[in-house]
Amino acid sequence: MEFNFSIKDVATEEVMKIDKYVDGNGHEKNDDLKDKMKLIIDEMGKASAVAQELKLPVTSADKLANSDHILYMMTEHDKPEHFSVVGILKMGWKKLYLYNKEGSRSEAMVYCLLDFYIHESKQRKGYGKRLIECMLQDINLEAKHLAIDKPTKKLLQFMWKHYQLSKLVNQGNNFVIFEEFFDDAFDEKNHDNSGHRALAYKRTNKCLDAMVAHKHHEHMGIVQGEGDARVLPEVKYNQDTEFA
């Protein structure tokens, strides 16, 4: 999405990390910058809602300002005083009751993927993978450690294609987690059983350049996490998933 102004003073790296202050660190008194940032966040949130066929945006500047969520925003500077926003990824810690595939329940703080959108003009070019990788490296987690809020079929295909995560454990609410989450469950690296945020949560903007190539499976099953576990019908993998 293109904008006819620049925020180069704060968008010094490909991916910005934005918190509830919605201004970029060190620019609290710059009202003009705040207005521009709010406009960008609101417009990208609306575009994400349209792409997901939602009635209302999940992401807005006001919602971000009244939460402890983190918004990762990928930008491109094509020419002076003109730049484009490639995509957004909103993350946040949530206290969840976790059900494994046997139906056993526990409670923990888990890092949750709340919104993910790559602009239509930038899809299928690797931007989505780079944005997710930046977040994972920033928080020092693996993709299998995430919970996803109301995942779309396209997002599930993306996670399957790039991270070989094929089975989801339905949590009986809007969140799903991957069966592989329980491979090292209750490791403090990805969540904290005492209810506190994981030690891995840190504020840094650095992302590694190296990207890891992954294989993908041919089918994906979903495991229901309430009561008796059951495998739902398999879903065919669509290689043209838009986030790729």
* Strand, coil or helix: 28: coil
Domain boundaries, the chain: 15-185
The answer to whether 36 is annotated as binding is: no
The answer to whether 126 is annotated as binding is: yes
Structure confidence by residue, pLDDT tens digits, 116-160: 999 998 888 899 999 999 999 999 999 999 999 999 999 999 999
Rounded Cα–Cα distance for residues 177 and 100 (Å): 9
53-60's contacts with Cβ under 8 Å and 24+ in sequence apart are 58/90, 58/114, 58/115, 58/149, 59/88, 59/90, 59/114, 59/115
The CATH number of the structural domain formed by 15-185 is: 3.40.630.30
Q: What angle do CA 59, 151, 54 make, to 5 degrees?
A: 50
C-alpha separations of 210 from 6, 47, 134, 137 in Å? 28, 29, 10, 11
Structure confidence by residue, pLDDT tens digits, 71-116: 999 998 766 666 789 999 999 999 998 988 888 888 889 999 999 9
The answer to whether 2 is annotated as binding is: no
User: What single-letter DSSP state applies at residue 231?
Assistant: B
The answer to whether 129 is annotated as binding is: yes
The answer to whether 118 is annotated as binding is: yes
The answer to whether 195 is annotated as binding is: no
The answer to whether 219 is annotated as binding is: no
The answer to whether 127 is annotated as binding is: yes
Rounded Cα–Cα distance for residues 161 and 239 (Å): 8
pTM of the model: 0.76
The answer to whether 175 is annotated as binding is: no
The answer to whether 239 is annotated as binding is: no
Structure confidence by residue, pLDDT tens digits, 23-47: 655 566 678 888 889 999 999 999 9
